[in-house]
Amino acid sequence: MRLARTDRSVFTEWWFSVDRLLLGAVLLIMLIGALVSLAASPAAAHKIGAEPLYFFKRHVLYMVPAALFLISASMLHPKLVRRMGLVLFLGGIGLMLLAFAQGIEKNGAVRWVIIGGQSIQPSEFAKAGFIILTAWLFGESGKRRDMPTLQIAIAVLGLFALCLVMQPDIGQTALVVLVWGGLFFLAGYSLIWIGLAILAGAGGFVGAYHMLPHVQSRVDRFLYPASGDTHQTETALAAFREGGWFGRGPGEGVVTPGLPDAYTDYIFAVIAEEFGLIFCLFLVCLYAFIVWRGFRAASRSHDPFIRLALSGLMMLFGFQTLINMAVNVDMLPSKGMTLPFLSYGGSSLTAMALTMGLALGLARRRPEAGPVYRSVPRTASGAASSRGIRI
């Protein structure tokens, strides 16, 4: 098939407007995810008594809907992205409430809901919706002063954070609050308010530290390794050292099979042991490239929604990656956070594919109006005139 720019079909239009480098980087990471799963699967399967390639096969199986989500979401028009975000968020919240109703506890947390025999972690999907919704609200705040957009955004954050804390999932809560804060910063609110928001975030963290024993224990163990069991961190670090620059080879890991979450939260350590630090550095570059590429597209757009939503999705992707990696290399206390596209898990994989699909859709080059500024003449008193130009 030969594509020509004169061809106006949906696919051709998509192909010429999509950021192909970004798309390529995402697809490459997904491919690496399958490769890593092939290497990490036997040890994990051995532990639960399944056939050696059980996890690999499931991973590949999940890659089909993931790829579908990625491509189809990247074809969406920003307006549809916005609606999609709303649907994802409301649907996600609904499912999270349903999870409480179902009450399936796993590792002391109610995160999973079973639909049609398939267990799903709705918060993974709700995250992307939440970011798009928040970006929408913040984007609107500049245009429509009659709407209490910020109040709505705070309420949305409160609702989502509450649902996450109830599970409890402190890692995701921190991530969501972090991204929301980033969007608040990007939206252009006064730095004084941003300072207050940081204080509030810190307060929330201190509150979590004091009210949730498992958070406290994890933080203590990070700050004072002698205060408790640091087996996971120790083993992860041992894996990095064991692997060295070039790794022990796929499936040759001897340290990481001892890790309880080797194929999910500590997949980075497994990669380090089996494929080596040079490969890890390459992965870091690849993730950083995606973030950089996303922000580049965001800063080129003049539509506040696209700027905010795209940056938000990139922050979600970037922060999640960074937190996971930082935990693996002992720069942060351990918390359950998956490494996008590499960690095993259907919900995580498909939701992340959807997230990146939406980001790709927003990052598409499209004709748009030039920069539109509200020209708001200041009065002598400094108060803004109500006569703005409405778009």
Output the six-digit token pair for 251. Answer: 């499936």
Within 312-331, the residues that bind other proteins by CB under 8 A are 314-315, 318-319, 322, 325-326, 329, 331
Cβ 362 vs Cβ 350: under 8 Å? no
How far apart CA 265 and CA 321 sit, in angstroms, is: 11
Q: Which of 57, 217, 292, 336 binds other proteins (CB under 8 A)?
A: 292
Distance of CA 147 to the CA centre of its chain: 29
Query: Which 3 state secondary structure label does DSSP give 373?
Result: coil
In terms of DSSP H, where are the helices of the chain?
10-17, 20-48, 54-74, 78-102, 122-143, 149-166, 170-186, 191-211, 213-223, 231-243, 267-275, 277-300, 304-328, 346-363
- Closest to other proteins by CB, 13 or 330: 330
d(CA 391, CA 387): 12
HSE of 178, CA atoms in CB hemisphere, 13 A: 17
Determine the interface stretch with other proteins among 56-64, 79-87, 95-103, 148-156 (rule: CB under 8 A). 148-156
Nearest partner of 40 among 264, 241, 281, 330, judged by Cα: 264
Closest by CA to 137, choosing from 17, 309, 4, is: 309
Binding to other proteins (CB under 8 A) within 361-390 occurs at 371, 373-374, 376, 378, 382, 384
Residue 239, C-beta contacts closer than 8 angstroms, at least 6 positions apart: 253, 255, 256, 259, 266, 269, 270, 272, 273
Interaction residues for other proteins, span 167-226 (CB under 8 A): 182, 185-193
- Of 280, 358, 359, 360, the residue at the interface with other proteins (CB under 8 A) is 280
| 36 makes contact with other proteins (CB under 8 A) | no
Least distance (Å) from other proteins to the CB of residue 328?
9
**Site track for other proteins across 228-247, x = CB under 8 A:** -------x-xx-xxx-xx--
Query: At closest approach, how far in Å is the CB of 34 from other proteins?
Result: 23
> Which residue, among 90, 153, 83, has the nearest Cα to 122 in the 3D structure?
90
Residue span 331-360 as binding mask against other proteins, x where in contact by CB under 8 A, dash where not: x-----------------------------
For other proteins, which stretch binds (CB under 8 A), given 71-79, 104-112, 304-312, 333-341? Answer: 304-312
Contact positions vs other proteins (CB under 8 A):
46, 139, 141-142, 145, 148-150, 182, 185-193, 235, 237-238, 240-242, 244-245, 254-255, 257-258, 272, 277, 280-281, 284-285, 287-288, 291-292, 295, 298-299, 302, 304, 307-308, 311, 314-315, 318-319, 322, 325-326, 329, 331, 371, 373-374, 376, 378, 382, 384
